[in-house]
Every structure is written in structure tokens, then in C-alpha cells.
Structure 1
């Protein structure tokens, strides 16, 4: 499948991933609307939903320097003005292109033979007058040395403004969190306040145990308790006694007597990430002799992107311990502490530090890639040619993070006898909004800077030509040898990599752990992989000029790679191309492909993470299964679930009222040096039809249908925290005996004090199987209106691309059940698998005028693990062009003409939806000008 520069301009976007992600062959992953999680503003593409690391990105058939430790490529760095078209090859292509091409290849063809001078400018804005985009470029090129060579230079600058979630109605209330600026506590399950005291403080009708006729659940001593600004205490259960300071962040989810209290963080997050990008690209070639043409190109990109999150939360394992002697303890809180069996012990503090400001991460990228080589004819050897080139790419990413909190500094203020007043003006009152002084903000806040460097070096030599004449045509052969080296180094700020020793306090509480709360602490990473590869291909003409066989060709390919990490690996393919007649062609083949583990998958150290598990639901499988509000605790196996929760360490005193209010749990990610390669098998079969009719109505009609089937074994990945909980508690038959020693259950632990999930280990391993299959359909139809009896008003063309997903399934570990994901969506980026997805374009052109319409359709889906139906979404776009003169043209677009909102569901990926799949910005406009001389 091929898309062109004109298709990209019809989107009105400034980054080409906007077009790529509209195509049915791609599953949108983290992109320009992906704030949390974010990949630093990068645009990585995900073919077939098999992962960005399994989609090989090429520029003019050659690799592009990766942008992260997984080996994925950021297509933001490509020279957009010179992209002539994008060729998408589906199915395993490792035999032709090497490791990483398990899902296929996206080859961006750059126009190295551009002639003339062209200036292009474009401006866009949404219907709500925000999120403005601008792009400017100048491109020049032409022949040099009397036509013996050619040179081209392109310079471009593009910007994109940020939009907050609060600027859209569907997303302004999102991102529920149990950690608020008011502060809260969950008392240790071994030192709970007396339940009778809790009943007396909050009173009827929420006393425990709950009467059989009670309308509201009781307030248990195991729940979360927050601190009002007045000094009183409120219960998260039914938002009882909550005194709101006002504002959408406090009041977004606050419905007293209806739902449990959570803080609204979503309003403070980006819905669209900002971007400021500079691109430069230069290419030159020069023919020395017919046997030798030298060539080279240089790509340079510098851009800045950012993400912004709500202010730093510190909770559970990143929270604090408050001594019972803290001078800011209010009389009401003192009465709660005195109701404990050990009133002088410390207690847990969860807190969000809004006074320090939101967490902002600014990413500054500098990327260059240079290629130089020589190619030409092997004189005297039939039509043989050769190509030898060397390529060096480098990516540097400087990340500056603000809004971080020093946990040791906060703990010092809490432990101080005077509440920290002698350390910074006013000290730190954690109970209610803290109103920290500038001195205290400076004392606890931290700005960090991380640096990432990545290099890729490639040297390759190849030759190709015809070996002999066969009855059906020339037997052609190509072969080559190449060396590739990738190196990666991540240098975190010293504060982010520092771990404070864990200290057991006199009262039994502990302090220590990661020094920084805010952005996740990180450890240094440095690694290198290299490989020497040998490859060969044969094009064998089998039969020609027979009835029903105009031409039948067989292509065979083989590649052997010797990696310094996994040793020798092989990939091979066999493809048939059967030209039946002038209008009918069949094609298909088989390929075995490989992917060696990346540097990050191999060598990443243990790093702190906070994976999402969603909120507990009576109908779904999200949240902590031990939460009394979950479907697990209220389903047919509730007794077995309860017993497993007790076996994992939840206190008997807490088990009947246990709740977990956060949507995230603390965990770890990390690499595995013992990984081995992934392997895949892919089958493809297709049919291409060109109209056999000469009538004007049908002569411009063509269609294709292609079936694909891809199975990947020994998939490298990790079992996410949500999947760990679902597997442990037998959501799909993974643990039918509810054994606490089941493999899924051993991947996480529970805090012995609170019972909350901690230490979810999302470590890389060779897991089991990933499988997908489906059909791609494409229809093209064009005609001249006058030729079919209509007025002479120009040409009409229709393009329809449809993707039908037959199957997408995965098996997390060997022996585990196969999980079917076809037609589902969930709360993780890249996990959206509609059965049907299509992109339709209609274009009319007459002389210098053109009008076009696009129809983007995303089929209906079911929210994974629930019965919730997500309806289909249809987005309509318009575009127009006008050639003012032979040299100057205007264009304009209206995207999302009907101002359609995205599909909203909970828990969504972020902003109550999947912002990479659905259109979150609403109606928007762009206008552009191109002048070419």
C-alpha cells in the first residue's frame, strides 16, 4: 500500500503520523495526544498492533537511527516536505531488511531528485481557537555539473501549541486519584483506630457493621481519611464530611453521599502536546564514470516537546510517615490517633504538592544521520550493479523535569520538632492545603536533567543482476553483507537515581527508598548490540505466455545474522507473483522472520514505575480484585477471592471492608540479559484486479484484496500489573484453584501494613505467543466526467481502504489460556483492535480547482473484560485546493467537520478515552500556500 504527499497535505497536520495512524493497517500508539504515558513527544508507528519495536521504519530503503532503547523510530525526524510517498509492506520482512520487521515495513521515500525552488507555509487552529499549528519550509534542488549530478536541500520549521484536558468537556473530569493536596492517611492495619470511635465520629447511617436496611456503606476504620482545611477529618467513603476548597480539581469527582472521594488530576494534563521542530535535509549525487556514482545525504532535526501532569503525588510506597509528635496535628486528628492501640506510633501520609506546580517534562532532541556511498555498473557483467555505503546516525535527548519532590527533605520537615519552621519559613503543615512558603518550596522541590544518547552505525555492500536467461525470463540474483552497531546510553540526574536507605523507625514504620517523588526514578543504562549479516535473493521466472499464466515468478530470500547478544539467527521467505492476464494478478508467500532483543529489553536496570490497574468495577476486571467494590469480591467465586486476599497478607480486620482508591500501583520495570530472539511466521495471499473494460465508466477501476496471518513466538515483553492481578485472580482461567503460589500471583506483593499491591514486577521475558490475521481491501476508481456523459467539469476519483481484523490474540505465558482481543479496546496505548476500520477519500479536480472529502471510520468495540459496548465513530474531513498561477497554489482543510467527540469509556487510556485512536481535538481548520519556481 502506498500513500502520497498529497494524502498527507489533506490531513492539515504538521506531523505525518496523523496520516499513518488513520490507515487500517496501523494501530495508533503513543503520539501527539499521549500525555501520560508519554514518549517524550515522539511519533512511533505500530503496524498491525504488534508493537512499535516490531515495525521497521526505513528512509529510501535504509534504516533510520532509533529513538529509544526498544529500537523504535521517531518519524518526527523525517523531512516532511520531501516525503514523496510511504510504502507499507505487511508481514515478516526480516529476510529482506533484517531484524525488527516482524510486523512489516514502512518505507518513507524521499525525493532526492527535486528540481526547482519551492516555498510552503501552513497554519491551522481548532474551532475553539486553541492548539494552533504552523509549518514553513523551503526546498531547492536541481542538476549540477552539466547533468552529471543532482543536489537538493530542504529546510523546515513547524510548531504545535498545547491544549489542556480541561479545555474539552469530555476530558475535563478525568484521571481520578486518591492522592489530593489536602493529604490523607490509611491507618496501618495492625494499628487501626477503634471502629466504635469511627462510628461515633461520622455517625449514622454509615456505622459498621452495616445494617441490612442501610442505604449507604459503612465507614470502616480501614478506609482512607482526608484532612479538611478546617482541621476536621473526612472519609473517602461516600465523600463523607468533605469540605471542598473549590475548583474543578477538587469538585470534579466530589459527589457527597454518592461516590467515594477521588481528586481530579485530568484537568491539569495536556490533551495535545506542544512541539517546536526544525528539519534540514540535503542530498547530492555525482557520476564519476558509468561504473561509479558517488552519493550522500544528511538529515538533521532538532525539536522540543513537552508533557505536563498534575502536581507530584506521594502515596503508599512513595508516601511519608508522620510522627505522633508533629506540632501541626489537629485536635480532631489527635483523637483519631488516640483511638489506636498504639497511639504514639507514626502514621502514613499521602500528599499531592500543588504548591510546587505541575510536573513538566521538556524534551529537547537533536538528531542527525549521514549516509555516503558509491554505486554503479559492473562493466562487462551483463546488467550487474553494485552499491556500497556507510551510515552514521546519532540521537541526543535532553530531558528537563520540574515539579519533583525530595522525599528526604519532606520527611525531615515532618520529623522536625517544630514542624520544620527552623528549616524554612512557616514549616510544613501537611494537614489540608499546605500553603508552603517560597523558602519551603525551594527546600523540597527538585529540577532534574536526564541525557540519552543513541548511535547507529551501518556499513553494507550489495550487488545484483541477472545470472542467466530462462525460458520464462531472466534469473536474477542479489546478495550482500552488512554490519550494524547500535549503542545506547541513558544518564539520569543524580537525584533520580539515588535510593535512600530504608530505615526502620522506633515505632515500627519505615522511611527511605527512592529519593525523588514526581517523575519516576531511573537508573543509568548503557549497552551495545552489533551484528554481521549476509543475505541473498533469487527472482526465478517459472512460467510465461501460457493460458491463464501470463507470468509466474518465484522470489526466494535468505538472511543470516550473527549477533553479539543472541548468536546466529536465520530468516527466509518465498513469494509467488502470478500474472494471470492483463487485468488479474495473484500474489502470496511465506516468511520466517526474527527480531533480536533490543538494548533496553536486555540491559535496562530496575526502575520504579506506577502502572495503571484501573478502578474497581462490578462489571469489569479492572482495579484491585481484593477491593470489596470489585466484580471479583461480588461474583460467584467471591469466597475463593477473599481467601486468596487473606493469603496474600490483607489483614483479617480489613478484609471485609478493604478498598484501594488509586488507579495505579507501585512497581518495577527492568531488562533481562538472558533474552533470546523472537521468531515469526507470516503467510500472505492476495489478488489484484485491474478493469478489463474500455468503457469510460470502468476503465479507471482497480481493486485488491490481501490476506495476512502473522504468528510471533517467544514474544519479548512483560506482564503488566493489571494482567498480573487478572491472572492471579483467575479472570480468564489462569488460576482456577486460586493458588497464592500461581505464577501470576508471584509477580507482585502486598504491603503488610495497608494490604495495597506493591512491587509489581514488570520485567522482560520471552513470553509466549502473539497472533493476528485479517484482510486488507483497497478500491480505486477514477474517471473523466465528460467521458461518461456528464458536463465537462473535470475528473473524479475514489479511494477506499478497508481493514478487517479476523483475529488478534495473545498468550502471556506458555500453558496459559489464549486471550482473544479482536474487537476490543482497553486502558493501554496500542491495545485498540476494531474488527473494521476504513479510510475513504473522494476527490474532484477541474483545471486548477480541487475538492476532496475523507471519511475516517473506526468500528465498534467492546471494552476488554466487560460487556460495555463502544460504538463506532465516523469522522468527516474536507479539503480544497486552488492553483492561482502555474507556480502558486492554495489549499485548505476542515477536519472533523461535524465536531464529533471521541468515544468515552472508563477506565480509558487517558482523558476518559483512547486519545491516539479517537479524534480528541474537535473541528479544526488549516490553510496552506505552496509556491514553486
Structure 2
């Protein structure tokens, strides 16, 4: 396997076409936005007659006087009195957007920052998650029918792949803390999937997707069977799903064929094909430089003889024959790993589930829900790279005579007398074990959940006290079993053992690092430690033998079991009736027990750890009240007391309060305050320490570090050789090694959420909502990114005795690699603050006079303006806040544009529907610029321009059939290419479409 390369790209080349397209589309986009997509709703409804393809029309909700259950509360209420801003997605939206998996649709919503998805190949868990407001996947709560759903591992995060989208009636999203109603984790908000629970008949759906280039195909099959029984007192529904997604590699698209990194060409910033300094033929560094080299003339002479005069900290490389060496040049000699990586992950999913409800009596209904999901996702990455300092025999026959002379000179001139002339010397290496093939990981997840409960009416105690009482009590059990099979891994200990060789005299059995005189070849080359059948490794060029490969490679399997039990019971109704209306209440108790245990694979490079896990439980009591003060004005309040079995959490209170005021029919204002908490997850508490590789920048590798000053002094004090400070060679890869793990002493996170908004209905069939939100998370649990730990050490504290500088362990040559690295455990050290405004619009009109028949036009839009997103990983450090609104990159992560929105226009003529969706992602700036680490002039692409996506879909109802199809990314937008601040594939593929135009078609038949 050879190193790939590509031509550097300048800013003008990449942006001219995009600018032209942007101008052409701007008019269309603004028209859609102004006209009208998850839209605002005011409450859940039991029926949605006249519902359009996006949401229930507000005027129809207003016309209904029935009591309903509002998401975010257990108190029944009338329509249009919900205090919380709620956005709703109808079931039709999944079909219109070809979303067989929920994350495809949710990730496009303005309230959502993409989490893991079908494009997450690197550091993947093989799942799909949702991240409300960008506050973290672990800080939003996923519900199904108002009840906690399955989480997939110790992080206690739900895999959206386990949710059957065909059975979804609607999805509702709530912004802000809801812990008083739903308990821990409901910090940034709640996503509630409401399923169809009274289905009658048979419904079968088949759907197929494919890109304009004929790849990245998806196939989806759904079957729903349901019917009533026992004289309509009961209903049973069974559903089946099969979904398959084809894998597509990064080199299937020209824009992701090579890994781009920031560089300069002729003094101008540009993007060039780069990658990793771990290359198939081997890179060797850690040689003396500068004054140290001048003091060792034997080494200089050996370098000159090899043609390596002027060698820098990047070292030298071997050629494909394993006999010739030459200087390693950055970035041209870096290994382009992109072609080995998936662009779209292959996936195969099976779901079977069912629901039964049965009226035992007039006041009691028994219900049971069950679901089983088998999900298989595969990832693939380039062959394992190995870096670090290793001990090499200077007389090894694997070396050419010139390299032997170099290593002997290094050994003979070592400063340490104890190791001088011992026949060994240390070199830092960057060697990719391409002989072992790619690293292939298969994630197989079996998840199942059973819920059983009883709900019903209790009637009234009297005419004016405890009236309209209802109750609900249920128990749920959920378990996920994860199996992760990895191939192509390298055993770290075996590799070290194999590269440390000596000579053995066949006659006497004696060993020595020096050749035996009079013995052919100097003796047999063997491992210094021959245990476990060790085979000497020739890593100089592509020369590892099959026997050596068999010794160091492994196929490993890790497993994890995650389990959650929930028992909840509550009653709701009216306490009494005041002149302005009934005083609603809800009160109940809840018990939860969560556990997770992880058995990792052992010994692989970057894949080590111990068996870990744990459990905890919580007992809770909660209550809500809603008081009508005068006509149109209501106050509400809620509380929850939670008693955790965790020693540093114990008992915590959450509470909230707010008001709604219908000033006049066309205007309602609403406001809410919530105090929410999040208890640490099992993962954050009990994860064992392990080694990771993470994108980060070593401050000591920046040219500016070479200047005299505190940074240079600190680099030397933390283990960087003085001659190597400021040399990029001490960071051979864009990823650095870190040590991460759990912390059983964690406390709960605390969040204060404020929302204030208005609902305006200027005319019939039109509604506008404007809601301000402010979310402030304190004692946030962070595993400080390696970049942050390094920044705190070298740029903030600048104290060798500080906690952060003590967390940095370097190798002898100054690089950050294994063993050692940057220690970053979980701790309550951070804070996150965000605020912004959500604007929703919906309007529908009858157009029968134009198109005839039963015709209507509906417009809807949802827009978010992000005013602030401040993440402070260490609150004790004044001025460390990362201002991420409008930014992306190594610190801020996924793009957080100041403006983001969706809009949809639906034209329905009898059974035919044509729909156009517009998606807008605003401009974002590289956080290295916003943090003033670099100027915009230093980067070829300092900003990602606004992106405009258009999707067209059609559907046609013909008797028992519905035929549907469409085009996603109608204008075939190409993502902006970015360099070193990318997530992967030269972009953020969960935010920006990396595939291009995609077509889909399908049909549904009903009996």
C-alpha cells in the first residue's frame, strides 16, 4: 500500500462556484423562509384530522375543547395552554425526507446539533444519537410514549436505530430542563417519540434510496399488522422492520479522496493532501539535532554518508525496497488514510415489536409494549499506525550497512554511560502495519425492552374536590447487549517484544546484542524475550514476515451489557375549581435502577483497558400543579426529589415554575423557569482508564514555541529536547495519545433554564411563535479534551507544578505517545451557557378554487438564532471560556451556526402531495480564528460559507396504495473542504452532505 497524494487547493478555487450558486439560490431560500420543518405546536392531540405533512395546524388545535396531555407535563389541559415551547414532527415527515432512521431527520432540525450518525467512521460506536442544542447527547432525554427508552451503553444514551420510525405517529421536542417532570438527563430538553397504539389493518412499505452516482444505497421494509379484539375493548399491533445501508468508501468522492491539512504553498495558505506520519515503510526519528548533533560528529558523519545531511525532527523514511532511506518531508510523505475509511457506514437492522392494550373494566386499561432490535454497523480504518520510542539492536541484519553505522554511532555517543556501547539505541518510529490490512470493526447490538402497566380513570371524590382523577402505573425493563469485533489490531506488547532482537549462538544457546565471532551471520537473530513464540520483526520497509505478522496481530472481541429498570406510578386530575377554572395537579413516585458492565479487548494499540462497570439506583417523588389565576392567565409549578445511591449525589431537588397569559385571542405569552439536574452516568463514574488517540495540537510543536520565553522553557521542563522545541517533527500525527477514565467521586450537574415567548395568531390558519431560551449548566462533567489540557498547561498556567502540566507525559524525544500521554479523567470542572431565539411559522390555506378538488397549501418554517454558546472546560480558570456560537473546530466541535433553519411548502391536491423543503446552515468560522490562535489570513479556508439545501418529494394516494419518491439535495451541493479542524472526510459529514444528490422511491399498501 503506497502513500497517496493530491494537489494543494487554494481558497479561490474552492469558493467561486459555491458563491455563484449561493447568489442564485438566495432569492428562493428567502422566499421560503419568509413564507413558512418541524413546526411549533401547543399540545399533543389524540387525533389530527386535517393534519398536514408536517404538523397539526394550530387553528384546528384551537378549535378543539378536549383535554389533552401536553408534552413536558403530566397534567391534562386544554389546547393552546401549554407553557413549554414544543416543536412537532409528524409521521409524514419521515417519508418525505426518506428517513428510515430517525437521525436522518432530527439532525436537520434547527434545535439539533448532529451527534453520531451513519457518517461517523472514526471513533464510532456504531450508533445514531441526537444532541439537542449541542449540549451533549447525554444531556437530553429520549422518551417513547412519554416513558424512558433503551440506552445502548454505560453512557446512558439512546441509539435512535432502536426506534421503529414506521410506527411513529409524531415526535415532539421540548427545549430546556424537564427534570422535575421526567427526572435526571432532561437538561437540554426532551425528544418524545409517540407511537401509533391503536392500529387496525395491515400496512406494508418498501423504500429504496440511491445517490446520483449509483452508490450508498439504502433499502427499507416495514410491516404493521393490527386489529381490535374483545368487542373493541382491546387492540394488538405487531410491527416488523428490515433496513440495510450499503457502505461507501471515502475515495468514491473526489472531495474526500485524500486527507486535507492546512499548509502553505509559496508562502500562501492552502490545503494539501497529508495524513499520518505513521507510514507503511516506516519513519524513524528522535535523532540528535542542533548543538547536540554538533557535539556528536560520528552521528553527523553517518548521516552525511546516508545522504541525510540537514535532517530535521521529522526524521527519515525507508523506501519500498527496505534498503534506501531519505528525509521524511511534511506534508508530502504523510500517509493518506482516507481511501481506507468509510464515507457511509454499512448497516443492517431488524426490529420486531408489538403493543397490546385491553380495557379490563371501565376504569382500568392494561397495556404492554415490547420491542427487540438487532443492529449491525461496520467501520473500517487504515492499517494500525504505531508510534513511540523503541529500543533497536544496532547490528541487526535487517538494517543496511549505512543505517547500521548510524545506529552504532548513536550507541557509541550516548550521554548515559550505563547504556553507551550496549549494542542498542532508541529511535522514535512511525510505522503503519499495512501488511496486516485495514482495521475492521463490527458493532452488533441486541436491544430489547418490555413495558407493562395499568392506566385509567378514578372518577371524582366530590363535585369540587379531587375531580377527574386519572392514574398510570407501569414497570419497564430494558437491556442492550453489545458485541464489538475488531480485526487488524496490533498487540502492543508483542510488537515491542518483536522489535527488540539479539543474536543467539546455535551451539551454546548464548545470546548477545553483538554478532558472535566465527559464527555464520554472527548467529541466529531472535527476540531478546522469546516467550509466546516471539518472531523478530523487520519493520524497515514493507518486510514484516507472515510469521511476524501472525505474532503481533489479533482479532479481539469486547462486550458490554447495559440495563435499566423503571417503575413509575402517578395520579393526576383537579384539586379543586376556582372561578377561573380547575386547579390541575399530578403527583407520583418513581424508582430507577441502571447498570452497565464492559469487558474490553486487551492489548491492542490504543485499545486497552480493564473490565469495568457499575450500577446505581434512585428513588423519587414528584408533583405538579397548575393554577388558573384569572381568565386566560395560569401559573404552573413542578418539583421532584431524588434520592440516589451514589455517595456524592445523594438527595437532590429539581423544580420549575412558569405562567401562560392569553392576553387576547390573537396573542398568548408564556414563560418558564426550570432547575434541572443530571446525575453522572455509569460510564463517567466507573469507566476504566484506557489509551485514546485524539486530534490535538502540541503547543511545543508550533514554530512560535522556539522563541525564548515561558512556553519554550516549559516545553523543555516537560521533556522536549531543547533543539526540538518549535519543530513540527515532535508532533508527527494530527492525533495525540491520551489517558481517559471514570471518576467515582463525581457529583451531579445543575442546570437553570429560562424560556420566554409568545404565540401570535394574526389571522385564521396562521400561527407565529417566538421563544427565547437561556440554558446555564454548572458543575458540568467534562473529560477535558487533550487540546484543552495542553492549552491550560502551556498557555494559561505555565507552571510545571500545575495539575495540567503534571498531566503531560512525554517520550524521550519530546513526542506525546504511548506509553504515557495526556491524562484527562472525568470531573465536575466545567460550565456551558447558551441562549438564543426560536421562531416558528405555520400557515395553511384552501386552494380548491385554483386547483379544484380537495386542495390546500401549507407553509411552515422553524428558525434558530444562536446568540451565545460558551463552553468553559475549567471554570476555575478565568477567561478560558470558548465562545463557540458561529464557530467549529478542534475545540468547539460540530458547527454551531448563528442561524439555522428549515422550511417546507406542501401542495396537496386530492390524493397528490408535492413538497419542497429548504434547509439552511449559516456561516461558521474556524475556532482557531475565533480564539485568536491564528488569523483568518493564516488559513486557506477560515470560514465555511452558508449552505442551502433543497429537497423535493412527491406522494400519491391511489385507493389502498401510496406511492412516494423524491430527491434529497436537489442542487447537488458539495461540502466546503476544510483542513486540520475537520471532524473527518475533510468536513463535518453529519452537518454537511458528503454524498451529493440522492434519489428515493417507495410504496405503501394498506389492507
TM-score range (shorter-chain normalised) is 0.7 to 0.9
Q: 1:924 aligns with which of 998, 1001, 1005?
A: 998
Matches within 5 A, 1:868-887: 868-883=942-957, 885-887=958-960
Q: Between Structure 1 and Structure 2, how many residues are aligned?
A: 844
**Judging changes above 3 Å, is the alpha-carbon distance between structure 1 residues 755 and 140 closer, same or farther for their aligned structure 2 residues?**
closer
1:413 matched to 2:498? The reply is yes
**Judging changes above 3 Å, is the alpha-carbon distance between structure 1 residues 334 and 804 closer, same or farther for their aligned structure 2 residues?**
same
Aligned to 1:212: none
**Residue 236 (structure 1) shift:** 5.0
Q: In the aligned structure 1, how far is the partner of 2:954 from the partner of 2:726?
A: 63
Q: 2:567 aligns with which of 449, 455, 459?
A: 459
Q: 2:900 aligns with which of 828, 837, 841?
A: 837
Q: 1:807 aligns with which of 848, 865, 868?
A: 868
User: Quick check: 577-586 or 913-922, which moved more?
Assistant: 577-586
**Residue 232 (structure 1) shift:** 4.8
What 5-or-longer segments of structure 1 have no aligned partner?
A: 209-218, 240-252, 255-260, 497-514, 545-550, 614-622, 693-698
Secondary structure (helix, strand or coil) at the match of 1:334 reads helix
Secondary structure (helix, strand or coil) at the match of 1:633 reads helix
**Residue 830 (structure 1) shift:** 5.1
1:847 matched to 2:847? The reply is no
Contact 2:249-2:344 at 8 Å conserved across structures: yes
Name the TM-score, length of structure 2 as normaliser: 0.81
Contact 1:896-1:924 at 8 Å conserved across structures: yes
Aligned to 1:248: none
1:86 matched to 2:165? The reply is no
Q: In the aligned structure 2, how far is the partner of 1:784 from the partner of 1:598?
A: 51
Q: In the aligned structure 1, how far is the partner of 2:151 from the partner of 2:768?
A: 35
1:490 matched to 2:598? The reply is yes
Cα deviation, 1:368-427, whole Å, max 9, x if unaligned, reads: 100001112224433111111111000000111111112333344333444569999996
Q: In the aligned structure 2, how far is the partner of 1:28 from the partner of 1:590?
A: 26
**Residue 82 (structure 1) shift:** 0.4
Contact 2:705-2:725 at 8 Å conserved across structures: no
Aligned to 2:640: 559
1:686 matched to 2:757? The reply is yes
Q: In the aligned structure 1, how far is the partner of 2:867 from the partner of 2:127?
A: 30
Q: In the aligned structure 2, how far is the partner of 1:927 from the partner of 1:523?
A: 47
Cα deviation, 1:232-259, whole Å, max 9, x if unaligned, reads: 55455536xxxxxxxxxxxxx63xxxxx
Aligned to 1:357: 437
**Residue 207 (structure 1) shift:** 5.6
Q: In the aligned structure 1, how far is the partner of 2:217 from the partner of 2:322?
A: 45
Q: In the aligned structure 2, how far is the partner of 1:283 from the partner of 1:916?
A: 33
**Residue 786 (structure 1) shift:** 3.9
Matches within 5 A, 1:383-782: 383-416=468-501, 417=503, 418-419=524-525, 428-434=537-543, 436-437=545-546, 439-493=547-601, 496=602, 515-517=603-605, 520-544=607-631, 551-565=632-646, 566-613=649-696, 623-629=697-703, 632-633=704-705, 639-655=709-725, 657=727, 659=729, 660-692=731-763, 699-730=764-795, 734-735=796-797, 738-756=798-816, 758-782=820-844
User: Quick check: 839-848 or 525-534, which moved more?
Assistant: 839-848
Q: In the aligned structure 1, how far is the partner of 2:147 from the partner of 2:790?
A: 42
Q: In the aligned structure 2, how far is the partner of 1:199 from the partner of 1:451?
A: 49
1:796 matched to 2:857? The reply is yes
Q: 1:112 aligns with which of 197, 202, 225?
A: 197
**Judging changes above 3 Å, is the alpha-carbon distance between structure 1 residues 202 and 844 closer, same or farther for their aligned structure 2 residues?**
farther
Q: In the aligned structure 2, how far is the partner of 1:435 from the partner of 1:923?
A: 44
**Residue 328 (structure 1) shift:** 0.6
Secondary structure (helix, strand or coil) at the match of 1:443 reads helix
Q: In the aligned structure 1, how far is the partner of 2:815 from the partner of 2:569?
A: 60
1:169 matched to 2:248? The reply is no
Q: 1:366 aligns with which of 446, 460, 485?
A: 446
1:5 matched to 2:68? The reply is no
**Judging changes above 3 Å, is the alpha-carbon distance between structure 1 residues 262 and 201 closer, same or farther for their aligned structure 2 residues?**
farther
User: Quick check: 400-409 or 871-880, which moved more?
Assistant: 400-409
Contact 1:842-1:853 at 8 Å conserved across structures: yes
Q: In the aligned structure 1, how far is the partner of 2:993 from the partner of 2:447?
A: 29
Q: 1:325 aligns with which of 395, 400, 407?
A: 395
Cα deviation, 1:51-102, whole Å, max 9, x if unaligned, reads: 0000100000000121121211111101111011110000011001000011
**Judging changes above 3 Å, is the alpha-carbon distance between structure 1 residues 542 and 235 closer, same or farther for their aligned structure 2 residues?**
farther
Q: 2:361 aligns with which of 267, 272, 289?
A: 289
Q: CA RMSD in A?
A: 2.3
Aligned to 1:244: none
1:196 matched to 2:300? The reply is yes
Name the TM-score, length of structure 1 as normaliser: 0.87
**Residue 271 (structure 1) shift:** 1.1
Secondary structure (helix, strand or coil) at the match of 2:788 reads helix
**Judging changes above 3 Å, is the alpha-carbon distance between structure 1 residues 930 and 521 closer, same or farther for their aligned structure 2 residues?**
same
Contact 1:232-1:333 at 8 Å conserved across structures: no
Q: 2:116 aligns with which of 20, 25, 30?
A: 30
Q: In the aligned structure 1, how far is the partner of 2:671 from the partner of 2:534?
A: 74
Cα deviation, 1:498-548, whole Å, max 9, x if unaligned, reads: xxxxxxxxxxxxxxxxx322x52122112001000000000111110xxxx
Aligned to 2:134: 49
User: Quick check: 675-684 or 655-664, which moved more?
Assistant: 655-664
Q: In the aligned structure 2, how far is the partner of 1:628 from the partner of 1:571?
A: 47
Matches within 5 A, 1:171-190: 171-174=256-259, 176-187=275-286
Aligned to 1:249: none
**Judging changes above 3 Å, is the alpha-carbon distance between structure 1 residues 810 and 22 closer, same or farther for their aligned structure 2 residues?**
same
Q: In the aligned structure 1, how far is the partner of 2:895 from the partner of 2:449?
A: 33
Q: In the aligned structure 1, how far is the partner of 2:366 from the partner of 2:534?
A: 69
Contact 1:232-1:332 at 8 Å conserved across structures: no
Q: In the aligned structure 2, how far is the partner of 1:656 from the partner of 1:841?
A: 52
Contact 1:829-1:914 at 8 Å conserved across structures: no
**Residue 775 (structure 1) shift:** 0.5
Q: In the aligned structure 2, how far is the partner of 1:419 from the partner of 1:379?
A: 89
Cα deviation, 1:822-852, whole Å, max 9, x if unaligned, reads: 1000137853211011111111111222211
Cα deviation, 1:140-197, whole Å, max 9, x if unaligned, reads: 1121100111111111100101111111111110171110110122235599675733
User: Quick check: 848-857 or 185-194, which moved more?
Assistant: 185-194
Q: 2:352 aligns with which of 270, 280, 297?
A: 280
Secondary structure (helix, strand or coil) at the match of 2:694 reads coil
Aligned to 2:152: 67
Q: In the aligned structure 1, how far is the partner of 2:971 from the partner of 2:545?
A: 46
**Judging changes above 3 Å, is the alpha-carbon distance between structure 1 residues 467 and 426 closer, same or farther for their aligned structure 2 residues?**
closer
**Judging changes above 3 Å, is the alpha-carbon distance between structure 1 residues 597 and 756 closer, same or farther for their aligned structure 2 residues?**
closer
Q: In the aligned structure 2, how far is the partner of 1:156 from the partner of 1:578?
A: 45
Secondary structure (helix, strand or coil) at the match of 1:898 reads coil
Q: 2:975 aligns with which of 902, 905, 908?
A: 902
User: Quick check: 468-477 or 169-178, which moved more?
Assistant: 169-178
User: Quick check: 463-472 or 339-348, which moved more?
Assistant: 339-348
Contact 1:46-1:830 at 8 Å conserved across structures: no
**Residue 296 (structure 1) shift:** 0.6
**Residue 791 (structure 1) shift:** 6.9
Aligned to 1:298: 370
User: Quick check: 395-404 or 840-849, which moved more?
Assistant: 840-849
User: Quick check: 424-433 or 796-805, which moved more?
Assistant: 424-433
**Residue 612 (structure 1) shift:** 1.3
With CA pairs under 8 Å and 6+ residues apart, which has the higher RCO, 1 or 2? 2
Q: In the aligned structure 1, how far is the partner of 2:815 from the partner of 2:577?
A: 75
What 5-or-longer segments of structure 2 have no aligned partner?
A: 1-86, 260-273, 415-420, 462-466, 504-523, 930-935, 937-941
Larger proportion of helix? 2
